[in-house]
């Protein structure tokens, strides 16, 4: 499978990407990929170091004629989001990504691909390893744990880097030059609840919503895609009103920065209501499919008999749980009044887990306005506290303030227009990028983020466009000669 990828052009870049994707690299478990990058840098004879956080820094002198140019920082993150389809047998901790070429796209078999941010990492590796690519002095920064808290960037110390310009290779549309981004904060609610023995005369069912499109909770939040946690809660609430169901457990979503694609619950109801319950769910499923036919064409509702659980939630807590999930803000909270079509503030209800007397509800709140981010996080905190939850606000990271008049933005905008006969989309994004955090340590550094077309990031539908990688690669190389 990877052989087809290795034959793509530019061949050195794709080969480095294939080598990287053979190394398991989940967030917070980056030991193997750190070792891989360190051995790569040392094998080239380049100064290579690992900081106290685990970020890898490799430096390379400028090529002849460019050796006295300002230092350029090339930056990408080593970790990747691990998501797979429910029917895919794959161990992210042990296996390399199974890549396939499908027309003009590289995809993975039932899992995330790791193009986010593996293409950026592979690009930097290619420049470091090449003898025929003109470039100024390079500082290559490979950060860790970007996807689950940006802790690598947060832990980066001031004084380690000397670059004047930073090229972050983590944007997912080759028409865009990103010059600003949103900050974020995690909202996590935990608590205990009373359980009761399963009443007699009840039949067990496994109820679920699956097959949603999902995606990146920043990049894709404006597309109106279904959130499995919210949709299943809708079914549970309706079923409670109609049939008095008793809930045993709820398990939905996974990663804080991925729009939930699946959510399942085990419920009990009077056996004489089973036929009517299944008919009700079928009717509600048809409504959901109609509502989300455009954004989530593969939406499916599961309603099947299952094993009898040992307990159910106490009625009082069951009512509170459904109410608080219903009340939890999800999706766009406010659009920017200053930048057209930019989501200013949003929330992703990323995880709902209630099982064996304990529950967790997780959200990732984003905003390009820090005060509004905190205000929404406090609103969510207040909502969860109404059911007695202990709520923590954590992993707070800043946004990145745009500098549209900087030399770097003007230079790269002009190069783009010259090379591709159209103006780039110079914008800010709603995703979290490491630029804002790095900028806190190095406030004088000019920054920009760009990259090839990547679609479906943070989901098993992730893919990267081959022709776009070629376009982006040529643009990156030209930038290095002009910067």
Active site residues: 79, 146
* Bond into 376 cis (ω within 30): no
C-alpha span between 424 and 442 (Å, rounded): 26
Which residues are 181's β-sheet partners? 400, 429
CA atoms within 13 A on the CB side of 1: 15
C-alpha span between 142 and 78 (Å, rounded): 6
C-alpha span between 78 and 99 (Å, rounded): 18
Scored b (16 or more CB within 10 A) or e, 261-291 reads bbbbbbbbbbeebeeebeebbeebbeebbee
Sign of CA dihedral 157, 161, 166, 170: negative
- φ/ψ of 313, rounded to 5, equals -70, 145
β-pairing, 176-181 vs 343-355, is unpaired
Quick one: angle between helices 31-43 and 115-129, nearest 10?
20
C-alpha span between 128 and 243 (Å, rounded): 64
């Amino acid at each position: 499978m990877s052989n087809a990828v290795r034959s793509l052009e530019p061949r050195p870049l794709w080969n480095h990407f294939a080598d990287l994707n053979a190394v398991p690299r989940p967030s917070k478990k980056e030991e193997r990929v750190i070792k891989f990058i360190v051995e790569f840098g040392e094998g080239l004879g380049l100064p290579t170091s690992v900081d106290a956080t685990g970020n890898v820094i490799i430096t390379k002198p400028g090529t002849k004629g460019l050796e006295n140019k300002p230092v350029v920082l090339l930056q990408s993150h080593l970790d990747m989001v691990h998501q797979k389809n429910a029917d895919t047998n794959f161990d992210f901790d042990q296996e390399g990504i199974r890549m396939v070429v499908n027309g003009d796209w590289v995809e993975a078999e039932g899992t995330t691909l790791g193009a986010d941010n593996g293409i950026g990492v592979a690009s930097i590796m290619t420049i470091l390893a090449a003898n025929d690519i003109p470039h100024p002095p390079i500082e290559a920064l490979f950060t860790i744990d970007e996807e689950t808290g940006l802790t690598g960037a947060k832990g980066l110390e001031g004084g380690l880097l000397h670059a004047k310009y930073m090229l972050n290779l983590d944007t997912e549309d080759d028409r865009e030059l990103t010059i600003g981004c949103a900050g974020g904060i995690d909202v996590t609610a935990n608590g205990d609840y009373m359980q009761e023995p399963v009443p007699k005369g009840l039949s067990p069912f496994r109820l679920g919503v699956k097959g949603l499109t999902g995606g990146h909770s920043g990049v894709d939040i404006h597309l109106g895609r279904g959130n499995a946690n919210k949709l299943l809660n809708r079914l549970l609430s309706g079923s409670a009103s109609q049939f008095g169901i008793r809930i045993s457990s709820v398990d939905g979503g996974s990663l804080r920065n991925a729009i939930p694609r699946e959510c399942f619950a085990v419920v009990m109801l009077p056996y004489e209501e089973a036929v009517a319950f299944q008919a009700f769910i079928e009717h509600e499923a048809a409504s959901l499919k109609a509502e989300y036919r455009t954004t989530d064409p593969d939406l499916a509702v599961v309603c099947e008999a299952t094993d009898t659980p040992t307990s159910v939630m106490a009625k009082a807590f069951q009512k509170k749980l459904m109410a608080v999930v219903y009340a939890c803000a999800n999706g766009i909270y406010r659009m920017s009044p200053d930048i057209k079509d930019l989501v200013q503030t949003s929330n992703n209800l990323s995880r709902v887990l209630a099982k064996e007397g304990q529950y967790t509800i997780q959200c990732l709140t984003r905003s390009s306005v820090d005060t509004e981010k905190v205000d929404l996080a406090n609103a969510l905190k207040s909502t969860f506290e109404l059911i007695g939850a202990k709520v923590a606000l954590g992993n707070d990271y800043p946004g990145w303030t745009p500098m549209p008049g900087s030399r770097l933005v003007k230079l790269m905008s002009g190069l783009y227009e010259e090379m591709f006969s159209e103006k780039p989309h110079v914008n800010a994004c709603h995703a979290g990028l490491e630029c804002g955090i790095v900028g806190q340590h190095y406030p004088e550094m000019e920054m920009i983020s760009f990259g090839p077309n990547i679609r479906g990031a943070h989901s098993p539908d992730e893919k990267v466009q081959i022709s776009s990688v070629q376009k982006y690669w040529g643009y990156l190389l030209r930038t290095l000669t002009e910067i």
